[in-house]
Structure 1
């Protein structure tokens, strides 16, 4: 199902509710290049609006220790995108003061008037199509303002009818897939600090059990939508494994790869009395004392990322993400008793 079909269907709903979007301004009060963000807790509330996109973070990770997942490849979500920004009247109020100020030069102003007013190809800001489409312009993704990719959206403001898809030659035009990628950037997961046994200090050559709190490490998701178009996408991150880096070459990990997979909804297993002679399913054995200091054990969780969206069949995948954390581990020598 294409975006245009979704838009056509949503237009019927909007027509039956004339006040539904009476206060909705596609591009806020911006001039067409900056990102407008509105939401609680400095944009990290349950919902926030960035340009034309609304984010629902009700199922996202939270807390002071939560952070963004880093894609396992060099892929990144788009730093800019195109979406509805102006009605015909709003575009007129945006451009005419610029032309009247003559700050952009006579030639540029004349070309713009020719394009948007004099019918080459638009006439009078397309007012004859008021209520049947919007002017689309670029937005910069929140937090990516200094990214070189934020300068990739250089296309002039363009019109899209409510029964049309955006031009196919604009890869950054908002679609469910682009929304899924934007939602990826909003995913937050908890810092990875594993539970260890022994807890405060371990001994040389003693297997140390490691596990993660299953209640804390569970799937999280963010939904990004453009209410004006009736399209949305939900991006979900699911923890699948944790990689243990002991912080020293003088150590062995369990398993030998250092990667502990999720099994039966948990990573590793808590130590319990009577397991002293067992090999931990996830853990580490230090072969040398940390002396007067400690080793920096790092645990990095890999998160599988998938998304679902308006008009898209089944789950679609995005690059895996990773997020880790360091913790101190004190390793002591086993004291021998001389008789």
Structure 2
């Protein structure tokens, strides 16, 4: 049985098959606008072409304790590549003669023609562990224990834990999603007044579904994680305020993708569907209004109906000036 050990030093995630145990230097591709299209790391290729864009984009925070996969098994070496990686380790003489001998026997290393499964070159790969170093929770619980051979088209042994699956790929894709910033539009824009309803909204053109696809090309496996905005939560930054609606949570308009409603002339006597009313002046300072968008996460994958991950959130804070309404005495 292949297991993940809790001892030793974890190997770096490799830059694709045969990358060795060196720290990876990701390969990148860029479209005409200079946006990153894909980065290869740990044997997984990410297509970020449908991700959020802009200077204020950021990663989602899962609404539960969910974290991305810490490690997984996937194709790692061809026969020649595994030999090139292991031979210098055995020759170093620091691992113990018996261990070296056992390893050489395991991989039939003394047979120049069949050692390391050279007679199967092109018909499979040696599989190993990839460690997701970008997300620390749990990363040190994964350690590369051993390599095992899988013929092309065959599934890995049933007793191998964390063999790469569409769901693992989808979790890695989720972690790569970037969503637009959440600075809301306010009306009045520069400064609002005490007891005056302030309209807030987010343009539907900026808040549309985004997605990232993760794949392992040599296995023909891929999965796409999609984030779709569902609501905006407004926190005024002071207890001396009321929100619209009272919960402070504004749902998305499914007809136009907008959250909230823009203010326009003739709406002064209306209550904003999404907004805030401050009951006290901010004086010489400001109130830190926080706007947080909740994104619903779903995924689909090769040969799988897919499913859902915990919702993610992304927010930002902006300063709001609140002034007293000046009365004129005649």
TM-score category of the 2 structures, normalised to the smaller one: 0.7 to 0.9
Output the CA distance in 1 between the equivalents of 2:201 and 2:67. Answer: 30
CA drift of 1:165 comes to: 1.5
1:285 aligned to 2:274?
A: no
Q: Which runs of structure 1 show a deviation greater than 6 angstroms over 4 or more consecutive aligned residues?
A: none
Partner residue of 1:330?
Answer: 321
Judged with a 3 Å threshold, the aligned counterparts in structure 2 of structure 1 residues 37 and 142 are, in CA distance, closer, same or farther, namely farther
> What SS is found at the alignment partner of 2:242?
strand
Residues 238-259 of structure 1 show CA distances to partners (whole Å, capped at 9, x for unaligned) of: 0000111111111111111111
Partner residue of 2:162?
Answer: 172
Q: 1:221 is matched with which residue: 204, 208, 211?
A: 211
CA contact (8 A) 2:70 2:132 kept: yes
Judged with a 3 Å threshold, the aligned counterparts in structure 2 of structure 1 residues 76 and 170 are, in CA distance, closer, same or farther, namely farther
TM-score, normalising length: structure 1: 0.85
Residues 269-291 of structure 1 show CA distances to partners (whole Å, capped at 9, x for unaligned) of: 00011111111100001111111
> What SS is found at the alignment partner of 2:299?
strand
CA contact (8 A) 1:80 1:150 kept: no
Structure 1 unaligned spans of 5+? 1-24
Partner residue of 2:185?
Answer: 195
CA contact (8 A) 1:37 1:142 kept: no
Output the CA distance in 1 between the equivalents of 2:16 and 2:279. Answer: 61
Output the CA distance in 2 between the equivalents of 1:102 and 1:267. Answer: 65
Judged with a 3 Å threshold, the aligned counterparts in structure 2 of structure 1 residues 148 and 317 are, in CA distance, closer, same or farther, namely closer
> What SS is found at the alignment partner of 1:65?
coil
Partner residue of 2:231?
Answer: 241
Partner residue of 1:115?
Answer: 106
Output the CA distance in 2 between the equivalents of 1:125 and 1:36. Answer: 26
1:37 aligned to 2:4?
A: no
> What SS is found at the alignment partner of 1:94?
helix
Output the CA distance in 2 between the equivalents of 1:327 and 1:105. Answer: 61
> What SS is found at the alignment partner of 1:244?
strand
Structure 2 unaligned spans of 5+? 1-14
Output the CA distance in 2 between the equivalents of 1:34 and 1:166. Answer: 26
Output the CA distance in 2 between the equivalents of 1:256 and 1:115. Answer: 67
RMSD (CA atoms): 2.1
> What SS is found at the alignment partner of 1:98?
helix
